[in-house]
Structure 1
Amino acid sequence: MGKIKLSIIIVTFNSGRYLKDCLASIEQFCSFLPYEIWISDNNSTDNTIEIAKEFSNVLILQNKENLGFAKANNLAVNQAKGEYVLLLNHDTILLNSLKPAFELIENELNIGAVGIKMLNGEKSYIPSVGRYPKPWQFIKFSSFQEKREAFVTGNFKNPNVSLKVDWITGAFLLTRKEDYQKAGGLDEAYFMYVEDVDFCKRLTLMGKEILFLPSICFVHFVGFNKTREIMLLKGFEIYIEKYFTGVEFAIARTCLNINYAVKKWFKGLR
């Protein structure tokens, strides 16, 4: 194998249920270039490490505690040898060769990150991009979603054409290692969720474009629960502190507080 071009970073925490299929899909669809896989494990107690060791090109960081998504990714990226970095969730399966996405970012220096089309476990389209939040939109998180028709329906007229977006999900985020480090990596103030929005925001502030390529798909076994809702609320508290001041800050915090109150009432959040 030649010089490593791509480092695939997978954060795991008791991920044995999904990891084998994820790693097998990488073997199938990333063979077009020299790559390595970094498993940054957050102190799993199941068979995650044993499964990871079954695959070639896998390097393992065994963290002594659950460090969260951002910090675990940063630790692995710091050790990665690839010129490019792919953040990939453990509960994903690639469905196509990543070559078009890789060529896209390799050929255009102004591209900060590339995302691809996300499907759920039933292989139905689910949105994986969004707009940067306006202060008044914190009252309802769905208002951050990309409203262009193709992004709502998943029907892209020309899937081979990339589209500019504000942010892409950290479940699949392809970037240059140099840009990742210049942006400061994922902000470790976020334990999990919203760090992807924040990271793309910092790439944008660096003058980089965030692109979405719908011709490539991946499955993400997304789960929704009360814990996720709470962590989203906490994540956006951090985001508001970072990016809003004055009247905008006051509006954003008020709207987020209303959002929390509604969820507390209807969903029983604590």
Structure 2
Amino acid sequence: MTSMTTTPSGGPAARTVLSVNLNKVALVRNTRHLGIPSVTRAATLCLQAGANGITVHPRPDERHIRGDDVRDLAVLLQAWPEREFNIEGNPFQNLMDCVHDLLERKLPVHQVTFVPDSEDQFTSDHGWNFPADAERLRPLIAQAHAWGLRVSLFMDADLTAMAAAKAVGADRVELYTEPYATAWGTPQQDAQLARFAQAAQVALAVGLGVNAGHDLNRDNLSAFLQAVPGVAEVSIGHALIADALELGYSATVQDYLRCITQGH
């Protein structure tokens, strides 16, 4: 199904795809030494239910996703060639080595999402800062391109930064959506939606693809996609895994796909 939004060239935009972030599955598993719940089993069930891809964010302390998980998921995704593997992280920490290891093993990676989090950061809570981060990001983006990968930069909904993200070589931006999620159901909701819609419009106009993620859920996702044009991908983890504890992976993924359809 295609959406009613358009690309910068005026053609129809493809339907938003769902990438499931499995960090929280690994977090629960790591509280014991039994190997359950299984990250690869969770990925398999999500893919079977229609998820378009898998996202992980391996941090240096391996508090949730570990290096072995990244490799095991890449091996799994060889059997799903039409689905994508998105690896998030700080390219100045362990991300580039993690990705290079997969490529050396000839395992699939499709997108890297550069996130400016510190090693001990609780969760990602801000985007890159331009122009301050531009020159140090440029060679790493070029390296990822040399590996044949799409590069997305985790960004605040800052209209003034989109052209700079494009100039430094990014293919996409992932809009950090927690401010919208926090405003959901409050008088600030419409203003936040307008802010994100404007940021997406500017990103599309300069030739960037638009991803989105952080605290999107079954309540707020459809409204976001209805208001924000051209969203290529949403990456959802915490809320989706929390829902799966009650509904199961299959029913949860299918309901998020329903929300995406409703958003178009």
Same-fold call, TM cutoff 0.5: no
Instruction: Give the structure with higher Rg (CA).
Output: 1
Question: Structure 2 length as normaliser, TM-score?
Answer: 0.24
TM-score (norm 1): 0.23
Q: Which has the higher strand share?
A: 1
